[in-house]
Amino acid sequence: MLELFLCSLLTILPDFLYRRFVQGKRLGHEINLFSVWFELRWGITFCLILTLCLITTIFYFHPSTKAATSVFRTVTILPERNGRVAETYVEINQRVTAGQPLFRLDSSEQEAAIETARRKIAEIEAAMIVAKSQLAEADARIVQARGMLQQATDEFKARAEVQKRSPGSVAERDVERARVQVQTQQGGLDAALAGREAVVSEMEFKLPAQKASAEAALREAQIELDKSLVVAGTDGLVQQFALRPGDVVNPMLRPAGILVPDRKVTGLMAGFGQIEAPVLRVGMIGEVTCVAKPWQIIPVVITEVQDVIASGQVRATDQLVDIQQIARPGTLTVMLEPLYEGQLDDLPQGGVCIANAYTSNHEALADPDIGGLRWLGLHAIDAVGLVHAMLLRIQALLLPIQTLVLGGH
């Protein structure tokens, strides 16, 4: 309506004033409902055409959207394992800090695993003490085997010497028996040495490895026990937290609640039409008015223009995707930040706003080589942005009335 009124000031109004005051035609007589169309048909037609061109120019070069929101993230409260709730520490809408306990799962199984691992470590340490005694025993056996070997060797040498000096004085069988005895004692000494090596290997390799495995099992059991206590990962507000002792939670099927992190609104995410992609640029100045901040116009600047449109994304599935199903027009995502710091600090997270972006041709107009028609066209484009700014202010003025009165709230 505003555009039509402005265009009529250039077309219909001058024609009417000429016929009324120059030609002297009277309202209700020469100028009536039937004569207006016949006499002003060219002005009315041109007014409509000019209005359409003006609206197209305004909405193309100065895009607007009602899909502007202060997007925020939420943290799902989930345990790392399944379990039954043993105790809760917070309530709904309670503010928490990072590391604060939220709830605890039943940990009987994990505590039993820790006790088993500790017992295993104690058992291995006791085996180490026993192995030291076995090492001392093996050393004693080696001393004994060496003594017996030495004794058998001396006996064999004595009989062999006597047999050499006086053949036949000692039976050949006795000499052979002494030789076999030496070999037997030598085997006993080798067995004692091997036994000692086995004890040493057990003390230096097997038992330490078993202890390390038991300690790793203890750490693993402790980690599982630590998973029983679920804490807040960040400062925020607990929402939809309805757990009570006895409830069963599952990280795949049943979350415990939602944690909304504490943060101030530093920017808005807006969705503009795809047709406006050629004019949306980083650095463009804009304005927003928000439902949660009535009768306020906040200047913003475009800081990022997303180069992909979400409606065209394809994920791997077991079915072929029909392009017709994803060909619906999506919006171009644009990030808006306040031109002056702190202007959106009191805007609630998730607040909905109306946003305008304004095309500026200041640099192009400053070019000394610009042509006359181009200079006039760029000036006109920048000038009609005022109309969109007026529309935004009208929307900001009427927004509380539409919401509270006409909206039935």
Nearest-angstrom CA–CA distance, 160 and 105:
82
Task: Label residue 2 by pLDDT band (50, 70, 90).
Answer: low
Task: Label residue 174 by pLDDT band (50, 70, 90).
Answer: low
| Summary mean pLDDT of the chain | 82
For residues 380-387, average pLDDT = 83
> Does domain 75-106+229-261 fall into CATH 2.40.50.100?
yes
pLDDT in the model for residue 334: 92
Concatenating the DSSP letter of every residue in 207-230 gives HHHHHHHHHHHHHHHHHHHHTTEE
Q: How much of the chain, in percent, has pLDDT values that exceed 70? A: 86
For 177-188, the pLDDT digits (tens) are 777 777 887 887
pLDDT in the model for residue 286: 92
More confident: 261 or 172:
261
Alpha helix stretches (DSSP H) within 268-359: 323-326
| Residue whose tokens read 């069988």 | 173
For 284-309, the pLDDT digits (tens) are 999 999 988 889 999 999 999 988 88
More confident: 312 or 222:
222
Residues 6+ apart with CB under 8 A from 385: 58, 61, 62, 358, 359
pLDDT in the model for residue 129: 86
Bridge partners of 271, per DSSP, are: 333
Nearest-angstrom CA–CA distance, 332 and 220:
48
3-state secondary structure of 30: coil
Task: Label residue 208 by pLDDT band (50, 70, 90).
Answer: confident
Enter the CATH code of domain 63-72+263-312+329-404: 2.40.30.170
Antiparallel, parallel or unpaired: β 293-305 and 331-338: antiparallel
Domain ranges of the chain: 1-61, 63-72+263-312+329-404, 75-106+229-261, 108-227
pLDDT in the model for residue 27: 67
pLDDT in the model for residue 357: 92
pLDDT in the model for residue 331: 86
